[in-house]
Structure 1
Amino acid sequence: MNKAFVREPDFDGRANCPRCGALGTEVGSATLDHHLQPSSRPQLGEAAWFCDFARCEVAYFDLFDRLVLVEELQTQVYPKAEEAPICACFGFTLQDIEADVEEGTPTRIRALLAKSKSSEARCSTLAANGRCCIGEVQKLYMRRIAE
């Protein structure tokens, strides 16, 4: 069949990392402006995708397979660096989850949940993936207490 008559699929907003194939999380320009070094920022447009796969060296990429590597970020980000805060807004770390597990009550997680609902939370800019960390924190806590 002639390719002129073959319809390309509609774009559904999803994009996969060109290196590891993981599904990316779309981010806007505010997130990119905050995380990328000034020399790396022109490589991507107004929107890009964050690769959430911890062992992948790609931080951000676009639909044209242009990418920015983790080493080109201004600071370390979770999950690319486990020592980086899970919550970029309030500095919540894996050690905070461990402390809640050891104490047997999610005191720090509850405090983080309350803070995440405040006007001080700027997840769309400060989080590398532009999303609130609460879901990830709860998942990590539940996984840890199940061990």
Structure 2
Amino acid sequence: MPDAPFSFDIQPQLATPIYRQVVEQVQRLVAGGQLRPGDELPSVRTVAERHAINPMTVSKAYSLLEAEGLLARRRGVGMVVAAGVQPAGDDRLALLAPALQALARQARQLGITPDDTLAGLAQVFDSLEQDAP
């Protein structure tokens, strides 16, 4: 498990379905090495209760990750990161490509320069670091 208690950042207002948000977050955390083989994920019930979502949504996400080989079901423990899963290394940026493309498209539509966009992104990074425990 990561050092801090693990929790998903689920945002129901996004166009991305909740199960995809869970899948993509686990993929990024594994790719970034923040979740390692053997690390436990919160139970379906815990995630569903914490975020007031249907347990079947969480179960669907976990099942997709299990089919992908990222998670394994461990009897009596729940879902864990599968053995042998390695951080993605240089492929991590590929996981950000859709979000970066959307950001670039939106910045262009708003008439914001690449330099100003990067400066805004740096500010967001800084605010996230300040919010971190």
Answer 1 or 2: higher relative contact order, Cα 8 Å, separation at least 6: 2
Q: Does the TM-score normalized on the shorter chain lie above 0.5?
A: no
- TM-score tier by shorter-chain length is under 0.3
Q: TM-score, normalised by structure 2?
A: 0.27
More helix by share: 2
